[in-house]
Every structure is written in structure tokens, then in C-alpha cells.
Amino acid sequence: MESLLAASSVGTAFFPPCPSPSAALRSAVPGSSNAVAARGVRCAAAKDSMFYELTHDEIFNSAEVIQWESGKSMNAIAAAQGIRIRRRCQPRYPSEGTGADRAIPRNILEQIIWDKEVEVSQRKAKKPLQKVMESAQHTPPPRDFVGALDTAHRRNGVPALIAEVKKASPSRGVLRDHFNPVEIAHTYETNGAACLSILTDEKHFQGSFENMETVRNSGVKCPLLCKEFVIDVWQIYYARSKGADAILLIAAVLPDLDIKYMLRICRNLGMTALIEVQDDREFDRVLKIDGVQLIGINNRNLETFQVDTTNTKMLLEKRRDIIKNKGESGLFTPEDIIYVHNTGVSAVLVGESLLTQDDPGQAIAGLFGKKLLH
Ligand SMILES: O=C(O)c1ccccc1NCC(=O)[C@H](O)[C@H](O)COP(=O)(O)O
């Protein structure tokens, strides 16, 4: 088994990680030895153990390499896994398609991802990956996200709460005119939230990484989830450098290869990855990936915005023996909480129903039908 660390023997002492394995593969010429070279060089690991050391077998299983080397584009590989969200990468090969079908996003999630591609490349131009990795290295160590959820679940006998700090969303528009992330974070914590989820996307949610950093530095003790649309490992290191303890990875957006790679980076940074699924196919894909600690079942279809709390039940009924699950979106009443708890979830992620009340923290007792201890 050849380790990518060994590939750093090409001469330079330090190789930043590739944005994602599928992006590295995309930059190579399929079917040629360049594809192999790209694997070796673009994904070579930094020697520092804080980063990562992946083997070829871990990242590039033979089926994936064969797919790539047969000339399939990244979007085609993703589509073969049932991923409907396309990247807006410039077409390089006829199989990637051209023309009108590529110019218009098919739904809001695809629009967010296309905007994210532009945003991340601009951010990277301002602060390259190597600098972000250094900043991440100097950030105080992450807090135990899963541990905080477990403790709260045991203490209260109801699903642990990940309370969301978000000003707006594409489906609901502005949720709060007066939006003070630090105030909201503190009232959530005081009223029993186990962890907080901080929206960092600016364009569609009016969030920011500054919010993440300010909340982290404000004395809040809860572990923080960076609620971001991750397409590039740069965002994971950046989130860590701003104090995130956990990060969201969306199965509807990321091919398996990228999830595996990003999971390993999270593990080496000491962060928790919350992997979000919305349907059977995504759930099955994620269950086959080693090292997944936390799965979130979104009740909101991110393509249509439709919310259906029976989604959690439907997906869990078939998979009774699953590790850790979290129900997300569209939870408004104590009955909703009892309903998802009975399906087997040990945590819930809630935004809108708390944020639209005068005091989002005090609204927690109303949502759970009792005061949560913390
Ligand atoms: O909420 C949206 O409109 C949305 C649109 C596209 C992608 C993601 C979106 N929301 C992210 C979330 O999953 C929710 O913020 C989270 O689950 C909390 O949901 P809620 O309690 O309904 O605010």
C-alpha cells in the first residue's frame, strides 16, 4: 500500500492538500499517467501529523479510479452516486456538456454551491491554504461535540439540542431583524442547548465566519458547528481557525471520495463531521463510509424546500441499528420533538422555530415542553 506521505519525496518539504480528491482528479488528464501523477502530487500530505496521511487505497478505491480513468467527469462520477447537485467547473471534455443546461442552476442548493465555488476561490486567493492551515494550528483545541450531545441527551432524557444561530434562509427570508449572534448564543446556552450551529454563508443566509469567531471568543462554552456548504478542504481549515469544533458535510453535494477525505482531515484536526443526508440513497452511501460519527437527517428537501418530519422516521425505520442520528429542520412543537425522539434520534438541530421568537433561548422550554438543564 502506497502512502501519499511517501509521495512528498518529489522534493518540496510541504504539499498543501488538494481541495478535494475529485477536484484533484478533475485537474488531471483522464486515462493518462497524469491522472496518477495528480494523485501523487496534488494530494501529497504535509509531514506535520496535524494534517493527514492518506493511503491510495483509502482515497482512491479501484472503482473510482477506473471511473476516472475511463474519462468520466467529476459531475458524471457524482451523478453515478445519485448526486444531483452539479459543479459549475469549466467543461474540459465533451462528456461534461456545454450550453444552456450548464448555465442555469437547477435548484437553490445548486445555486448555493455554484456561488460557493466563486466565493471559495476568491477567499483562497486572499488567504492561501497553507496560511489557513497555520492559523488552524494555532487555534485552541476543539471541544467535544459528540460528547456534549451525549451528556445532554442523558441528562434531560430528550434529544440534545443543537440550536442554530442564523439570520435568514432562502426558504424563509429574514428570520430576525434584530440579530445579535452573541446574545442569541448566550441565551441558547443558558437555556440548555448542548451545542450551537452557526451559519457562515453570507450570500444566502446572511451569516459569516466573523459571527463564528465572535461567538467563540464571547465566553460561550458549547461546542460550535460551522454550518457551511463545504466543497473544498480550505473551508474546513478556515472554520477551525475561526474556532469551529464541528463542520457540516452534505451528502447531496459531496461524492464519497470527498467525504472520506474530508472526514480524515476533520479527524486529524480533532473536529467532528456532521454528515447530512436526506434520502435513502444518501443514507446508504454514508453508512458505507468508515469513521462516520454523526449523521443528520434533514427533513427539508434542499432542492424543493419541502419539510416533512416523517422523513426521519422513514429513513430510520429501515436502519434500526444505526450509530448516532440527529433530526434536522422543521421542528416546531413538543410533539415534533417526541415524534423524532421516538424514531431513535439522540439530537435535534433547530433554527427557525426558536429564532422567530422574542427570546430564542426562552423559546427552548416551549419547544421541548420543559426546561432543559445544562
Ligand atoms: O433553510 C433553508 O432554506 C435552506 C435552503 C437551502 C439549503 C439549506 C437550508 N437550510 C439549512 C438547514 O438545514 C436548516 O438551517 C437547519 O436544518 C435548521 O432548520 P430549521 O429549524 O427549519 O430552521
Report CA(16)–ligand 1 centroid distance (Å). 32
Q: What is the pLDDT of residue 185?
A: 98
Kindly list the distances between the CA atom of residue 227 and the CA atoms of 12, 113, 126, 299, 328, in Å, as whole numbers in the listed order.
35, 14, 22, 16, 12
Interval 173-230: pLDDT, tens: 999 999 999 999 999 999 999 999 999 999 999 999 999 999 999 999 999 999 999 9
| Joined grid coordinates for residue 354 | 426558536
* Other beta carbons within 10 Å of 98: 10
Interval 274-317: pLDDT, tens: 999 999 999 999 999 998 989 998 888 877 888 888 888 888 87
Three-class DSSP category at 1: coil
Q: What is the pLDDT of residue 330?
A: 67
- Highest averaged pLDDT of the listed ranges 6-10, 163-167, 286-290: 163-167
In percent, how much of the chain has pLDDT > 70?
74
Buried b (16+ CB within 10 A) or exposed e, 178-205: ebebeebbbbbbebbbbbbbbbbbeebb
Instruction: Say whether pLDDT at 138 is over 90.
Output: yes
Instruction: Say whether pLDDT at 23 is over 80.
Output: no
Q: Catalytic residue at 328?
A: yes
Beta strands 347-350 and 195-199, pairing class: unpaired
DSSP string, 58-101: HH--HHHHHHHHTT--HHHHHHHTT--PPP-PPP-SGGG--SHH
Instruction: Say whether pLDDT at 38 is over 60.
Output: no
- Look at 91 and 249; give whichever has higher pLDDT: 249
ipTM above 0.90 for this complex: yes
Q: Catalytic residue at 227?
A: yes
- Report the residue among 169, 172, 326, 355 best suited for mutation to probe ligand 1: largest number of ligand atoms under 8 A from its CB: 169
Beta strands 173-174 and 195-199, pairing class: unpaired
Instruction: Say whether pLDDT at 36 is over 50.
Output: no
Residue 39 pLDDT level (bands cut at 50, 70, 90): very low
Which residue puts its alpha carbon closest to atom 19 of ligand 1?
A: 329
Q: What is the pLDDT of residue 25?
A: 54
Taking alpha carbons only, the member of 174, 172, 149, 169 closest to residue 161 is 149
Beta strands 168-169 and 294-298, pairing class: unpaired
Report CA(330)–ligand 1 centroid distance (Å). 8
CA gap 224, 144 in Å, rounded: 10
Taking alpha carbons only, the member of 372, 352, 374, 366 closest to residue 184 is 352
Q: Residue 272's beta-bridge partner residues?
A: 246
Interval 108-132: pLDDT, tens: 999 999 999 999 999 999 999 999 9
Strands (E), 266-344: 272-277, 294-298, 325-328
Q: What is the pLDDT of residue 75?
A: 76
In percent, how much of the chain has pLDDT > 90?
55
Residue 339: CB partners within 8 Å, gap ≥ 6? 309, 313
- Look at 5 and 329; give whichever has higher pLDDT: 329
Least confident range of 20-34, 238-252, 259-273: 20-34
